């Protein structure tokens, strides 16, 4: 008696299959954390995951600029006219 072979969905990734996950992460060039974050938000559709990765790589999220520490800000004297951003005007 012939048994029919189970056909895997071609457009969905089986997250329990470590080989599929490893191959897809390598093909997309993402880390474990990025992949799990995307799958958590999007789902297991390969097309949706690929689209999200290309979108993220096309326009990366802006990084927060590092601000000087409070000690550096407090150490700046407002009496010094050479400091940038002073309110004094030259005659």
pLDDT tens digits, 32-58:
999 999 999 999 999 999 999 999 888
* Residues 29, 66: Cα–Cα separation, whole Å: 27
Write the CB contacts of 88 (distance below 8 Å, at least 6 apart in sequence): 81
pLDDT surpasses 70 at 88: no
* Residues 49, 73: Cα–Cα separation, whole Å: 44
Please tell me the predicted confidence (pLDDT) of residue 18: 92
Tally Cβ neighbours within 10 Å of residue 35: 19
User: Over the stretch 6-33, which tens digit does the pLDDT of each residue have?
Assistant: 776 778 998 899 999 999 999 999 999 9
The CA–CA distances, whole Å, from 67 to 8, 31, 46, 77 equal 51, 28, 39, 18
């Amino acid at each position: 008696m012939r048994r029919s072979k189970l056909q895997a969905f071609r457009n969905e990734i089986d997250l329990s299959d470590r080989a599929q996950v490893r191959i897809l992460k390598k093909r997309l060039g993402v880390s474990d954390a990025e992949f799990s974050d995307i799958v958590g938000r999007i789902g297991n559709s390969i097309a949706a995951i690929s689209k999200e990765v290309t979108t993220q790589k096309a326009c990366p999220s802006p990084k927060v600029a590092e601000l000087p520490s409070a000690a550096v800000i407090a150490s700046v004297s407002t009496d010094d006219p050479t400091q940038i951003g002073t309110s004094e005007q030259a005659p």
